[in-house]
Amino acid sequence: MCLAVPAQVVSIRGNLAQVSVEGALREVHLGLVDDVEVGDYVLVHAGFALERWTEEDVREWRAILDGTWPGRTE
């Protein structure tokens, strides 16, 4: 099970953040992750951020979508 999608944090108010999934906006709860800032990418499941992605994670994801990811090597 478990659909989860990466989303970019647009704004933060307390424990709640507005995130954008390629332009679709949704409020998510940040109570399960630390140190999230505006501009970060988080993995969202059922309204909760489950993980904060590093810039490298985001680059890899973008490369997958662009079809330029070489795969996991060593």
Minimum distance, C-beta of residue 37 to other proteins, in the bound complex (Å):
17
Minimum distance, C-beta of residue 71 to other proteins, in the bound complex (Å):
5
Minimum distance, C-beta of residue 54 to other proteins, in the bound complex (Å):
8
Residues contributing to the site for other proteins (CB under 8 A): 1-5, 7, 20-27, 29, 31-34, 43-48, 50-51, 53-54, 56-58, 60-61, 63-72
3-state helix, strand, coil in the chain (%, to 5): 15, 45, 40
Please, which residue, 12 or 45, has the CB nearer to other proteins? 45
CB-based contact 40:51 (threshold 8 Å) = no
**38: burial class by Cβ within 10 Å (0-12, 13-18, 19+)?**
exposed
